[in-house]
Homo-oligomer: A and B are copies of this chain.
């Protein structure tokens, strides 16, 4: 542990904001997983002096710098030349990279111009990192007790290099294995969950527990470091058990990317079918489900009913219910869920109806419902936060609640219905 690195991304397109710097985030995430700290990231343009100065600054702070961009012929190999100069190394022709490069152009049927050849000029004594997705190889330069890792700028070239040879090289330096398990939570606010675990997790060193918030969801990532993966798993298990014991009713799964992934997986595994009737979410529930490959095995019918008339005609909601309770009511939500379940011949029907705003006295009031053959569960939600983007947030959270109720209906789990937290 205790290793610290800095990330420098080279490229005028980043300085101008034409490209979002996803490389920095990916490298940072990988380093965090390996237990390598990052205190500083920076972006500089295609300018040797400024890059040189940035290298001085970076190596005054730490021993490891990862760079992206500024490789390849259009950049005059700015990064490679500048970093090599910093280490006092000259560039020498790498015969193997030359062959690769010539082969690449031959295969395309293009004549290789000579400026391309400088991509095969590598700092003497460096570790060459092959680039199967582009023409500019990366490299690792070591010396003066420091190391620089140079990777190409295009993310689809950078990523495999980072995840492959760079990770291997870094792991050897950290000489442990890292493994993570993510618990997925819904229905508990990030700040609530965080405040209830903060004290315990803040002094944990191995495994560590880190909270991550997504809109309406929270994840707790447990990461262990050990000599091998089995040892990591053994360290993670008791921490997972404790968190599930404490927050089990909010936990909808583990290692899912999203609530909809859990829903599709849960329904497919059980051989169940789901149908959705949507008013305020307007297709968002269906769309989030269909986003997941394999959704067609468990989902076929969705109804977007954005008026009273549509609710009556498509779902058979009774005029009486609408008159007595209005479209935004537990009764209407329940009839919508039952209606779409019947229409689809599905095992579970879910529904949403509410005021998404903007404006209006009852903005944020939403009813989400799930109907099975045996019963219908409805949850009253108050989702307004008084902010300008409330409409999007209300619709998103309402769709999440419909998905959560669907999972609970499939599970026969009603614990969340009885809670009052939000």
Contacts and interface: CB of A to CB of B under 8 A. Distances in A.
B306 A301 contact: yes
A269 interface: no
Interface in A254-296: 276, 278, 280-287, 289-291, 293, 295-296
Contact of A302 (B20, B25, B282, B395): B282
Interface in A4-40: 14-22, 24-32, 38-40
Interface string A158-171: 00100000000000
A28 B17 contact: yes
A16 B44 contact: no
Interface in A339-359: 343-344, 357-358
Given A132-B388, A283-B290, A301-B304, A41 B14 contact: yes
A15 to B, nearest CB: 5
A108 B191 CA distance: 15
A85 interface: no
Contacts of A385: 108
Task: Choose among A42, A104, A385, A392 the residue with the greatest number of B CB atoms under 10 Å from its CB.
Answer: A42
A212 interface: yes
A103 to B, nearest CB: 9
Interface of A: 14-22, 24-32, 38-45, 47, 50, 54, 57, 74, 104, 107-108, 132-134, 156, 160, 191, 212, 276, 278, 280-287, 289-291, 293, 295-296, 299-307, 309-310, 313-314, 343-344, 357-358, 385-389, 391-392, 395
Contact of A306 (B283, B296, B310): B296
A248 to B, nearest CB: 25
Q: How many copies does the complex hold?
A: 2
Given A20-B22, A293-B358, A310 B301 contact: yes
Contacts of A281: 287, 290
A38 B16 contact: yes
A373 to B, nearest CB: 20
Contacts of A15: 28, 38-41
A301 B289 CA distance: 19
A310 B386 contact: no
Given A14-B28, A21-B41, A284-B287, 18 more contacts: A14-B24, A15-B40, A16-B38, A17-B24, A17-B28, A20-B21, A20-B25, A40-B54, A107-B386, A156-B389, A278-B302, A280-B290, A281-B290, A283-B302, A291-B395, A296-B307, A300-B305, A302-B306
A18 B156 CA distance: 19
Nearest to A15: B38
A29 B57 contact: no
Contacts of A26: 17
11 contacts: A16-B28, A18-B29, A19-B25, A39-B47, A41-B43, A42-B43, A133-B389, A276-B283, A283-B302, A286-B286, A295-B306
